Every structure is written in C-alpha cells, then in structure tokens.
Amino acid sequence: MEDRMKSGAARGSRSRGVVASAPPLPDALVRVCEAARHGNYFDCLGIGTDASTTEVREAYLKHVSELDVMRSMTKNDGEAAAAVDEASRIAGDAFAVLSDPDLRLTYRRALLPAEGREPWRS
C-alpha cells in the first residue's frame, strides 16, 4: 500500500513541477482562422465568388456547425476559444454581406483591382 502511495505522490509531484504548454490549435481551426484573417469573405466560407445566395447560406450553416464543434473542443483553452469566437464573428459578417445582393455587389467591386483608375485624392 505504501508503494502505491509513494508512486502516486511521485506522479503528482512530477505533474505539478512541469509547466504544461497549451496544446496546438486543431488544424481545422487554424485553417478557418487563416481564411478569416487573411482571405476574403468568400474564402472564409469556402465558396466561389459566383455562389448563389442559397449556397452562401448552406456554407455559413456548415461553417457555424463546425465552429460549434470546435468551440466545445476548445472551451478550456483560452487562446483557442478566442480564435473560435473571432472566426465565428467573421463568418457572421461574411454571411451578412454575401447574403445581401446589394452589399455583395459592393463587396465584389471592392475586391476588384483598381486598374485604370486614378488614386483617390484628398
């Protein structure tokens, strides 16, 4: 019995002495966050620029369900939870813009290169 207690105490002391580093973010979360931060709204939802409003909605709902799974997996990791929240906010913004035909047209025009246009002057 004492041997078990000693080994248990030794295990406990080892786990307390080592500083646990945060586990790496899941690959799916990294992909979503990168698309949200550095891509455009189409990249964020994983759709083409010619996607219909129905395809935008379906992609958004799929994206939200994936983020909900990631949120439950990362609820104890502050950094990962913040990344999920950020990706969720950006996905909501993407859906709001891409599901409205007028906002979507304005957004697509903003993505076009400014070829042949004079720079804006103050």
Domain 24-111 has CATH 1.10.600: no
Predicted pLDDT of residue 14: 47
Residue 70: closest CA among 22, 29, 33, 37: 29
Predicted pLDDT of residue 23: 55
Residue type, 27: D
* 94/84 Cα distance (integer angstroms): 15
Domain boundaries, the chain: 24-111
The 10 Å CB-count burial string (b at 16+, else e) for 12-35 is eeeeeeeeeeeeebbeebeebbeb
List average pLDDT for each run of 10 residues in the chain, which is 122 residues long: 46 47 61 73 87 93 87 78 84 92 90 59 38
Predicted pLDDT of residue 114: 57
Q: How many CB atoms lie within 10 A of CB 39?
A: 14
* 50/92 Cα distance (integer angstroms): 19
